[in-house]
Structure 1
Amino acid sequence: MNLFLFVSTVLIWGTTWIAIALQVGDVPVVVSVFYRFATAGVVFILGLALLGRLERPSAGQQKWVLAQAMCLFSFNFLCFYMAAGYLASGVISVIFSLATIFNAVNARLFFGDRITAKTLLAGGLGVGGLMLMFAGDLSGAGTGEAWIGILFATCGTMLFSFGNMVSRRNSASGLSPVTANAWGMCYGALILMALIWASGSEFILPQDPVYIGAMLYLAVIGSVVGFTTYLMMVARIGSAKAAYATVMFPIVALAISTFVEGYSWGVMNAAGLVLALCGNLVMFTNLSLRRKAPQMA
């Protein structure tokens, strides 16, 4: 079961980055993210209701579902969508692979998990690889814009990691990932609606079938299915090990970016990718996909 969840998450989230890039354009970023999670929330709630599996979080759990919504279903994706305006989708996925490191550190801070020497080695290799990979993007006239994209993508990844910690806490307290996701996506849509109102952004109804197709893929496959498989892994094997799925995202995403976006390869960024993946693979080595009960703080 854990292997199935792992493979499913990699294939789904490895392809969502190009779909995010396809949504960048005339529609304001916050509106695009709202469309995604409003659709996902409605599909999730209706699906669970039809299956007779719709549950309501208790009053004490509501604040944690809201925290999960803020970290996983709203602000983090605003960062990723903004980053997509400055960086190729495959490059954003490489930054997102740092969730492996962020989760290890945050699991130590919030749950007391031990950080091993292997984690420190992997972190050093990963950072070194990213520096090589971005050397070309940060040179010349594009330096400022590349840094903006990197900053947004890094902030989104950190928020994602915090969301993992909240989800792990929710699962340990008896709130299933399916229930937390369904209500969390609805809460995320409400947060985004409030941001749209506060910012004065215009609701633009998309007419482009490519945009609509990308939005539906992101909402149903990327959000409803992808987040469920990933957070089920968090509940079963822990946040640090579940984040190893991000090791494989750049391979899938950069392959797609090469053919669809014309992402160009050179010696430096190719070597950087290899080094970054080696850093993550250090953590991936000897990964056990056996069930591990989450710990409570």
Structure 2
Amino acid sequence: MRSIALYTLTVLIWGSTWLAIEFQLGDIAVEVSLFYRFSLAAILMWIWVSVKKLPMNYSRRDHGFFVLLALCNFGLNYLVLYWAQNYLTSAMASIAFSMLLLMNIVNTRLFFGKPIAKRIYSGALIGVVGIVSLFWPQLQQFDLSNGALVGLLLALTGTFVASLGNMVSVRNSQQQIGVMQGNAWGMLYSAIGLLCYVFMADASLSFSAPASYWYSLVYLAVFGTVIAFACYFALLKNIGPERASYVIVLFPLVAVILSTLFEGFIWQANTFIGFSLVLVGNAIVLTPTKRIKAFIELHKASLANKRSIPS
């Protein structure tokens, strides 16, 4: 029951953060909003590790990887994804981000030599076809001035950067660096880096924004960053990374539902087809071949039993 609660909470929070990001756009510069978000998250993380008295002393080399973690997982990736949502609804951005699963598998092969199972090629192809279907109207009129296409390219770029950050996180875990400690340092360096970027971009540290902006900021920092990551890492420990990774498949469902309710997201034929293909592709990637075969055999047996029953 504890794992179910953690799983549900992670999916609901991460699925809703895409809509919360919409309230961060427009009034205050994106880089300033991210600086506020990760500054608050860093403060909360450091309070946590201090209360738990976790070891925080690491080598210079480790700190170099903490900086990379900050850049890829808590900085540049979010900056690009926030830019993407200037062109896309939260639903479309979340679906594009679900390609993280496939990028992680490829990058794990490249950086750590882990073999890629044959089913993953099929799942990846289906996922890519799904993305193409989602953005087919824009791809038919290929033009980089097309807002949706620009948003897609930005979303996929931000997703790829996040995948590189995941590889840094894997490296840190292999070096026996605690997840909470690594994230605390990463978020601290992220806040510092974003502040430097704010000054270079000559952006104003404005506090003039509606209440919805500040509510969403607190939600993103406290729930979307600190609590959701804590739940996800607890899941990794309790049920393993393979099953825990299904959150990447499920949170777009939440994002799409919320976008439909609050952003007027309109479902079209290509939307249904593309969304379904992305979900199916990711599910195939995450499901071991033996389990797929077992499901098929069970389905065949069920059909055989129904046919044998006299009407």
Listed one character per residue, the Cα deviations across residues 62-115 of structure 1 (whole Å, up to 9, x for unaligned) are 111111111011000001100110000011110110011000000101111111
Q: Which residue of 1 aligns with 2:211?
A: 209
Q: Which residue of 1 aligns with 2:287?
A: 285
Q: Which residue of 1 aligns with 2:38?
A: 37
1:104-143 matches, cutoff 5 A: 104-138=105-139
Separation of aligned partners in 1, 2:3 and 2:170: 16
CA gap of 1:118–1:227, structure 2 versus 1, over 3 A, is: same
CA drift of 1:9 comes to 2.6
The yes-or-no answer on 1:155 pairing with 2:186 is no
Separation of aligned partners in 2, 1:71 and 1:241: 24
Contact 2:119 2:289 in 1 (8 A): no
The TM-score normalised by the length of structure 1 is 0.89
Separation of aligned partners in 2, 1:126 and 1:254: 17
SS at match of 2:61: coil
CA drift of 1:137 comes to 4.9
Contact 1:45 1:54 in 2 (8 A): no
Aligned residues: 288
Q: Which residue of 1 aligns with 2:297?
A: none
Q: Which residue of 2 aligns with 1:13?
A: 14
Separation of aligned partners in 1, 2:235 and 2:115: 19
Q: Which residue of 2 aligns with 1:81?
A: 82
> Bigger shift: 38-47 or 237-246?
237-246
Contact 1:168 1:239 in 2 (8 A): no
Structure 2: stretches of 5+ with no match in the other structure: 291-311
CA gap of 1:215–1:287, structure 2 versus 1, over 3 A, is: farther
CA gap of 1:54–1:22, structure 2 versus 1, over 3 A, is: farther
1:140-289 matches, cutoff 5 A: 144-231=146-233, 243-286=245-288
% same residue: 35
The TM-score normalised by the length of structure 2 is 0.85
Separation of aligned partners in 1, 2:114 and 2:243: 12
CA drift of 1:142 comes to 9.9
SS at match of 2:23: helix
Letter in 2 for 1:159: V
CA gap of 1:25–1:148, structure 2 versus 1, over 3 A, is: same
Contact 2:242 2:286 in 1 (8 A): no
Structure 1: stretches of 5+ with no match in the other structure: 289-297
The structure with more radius of gyration: 2
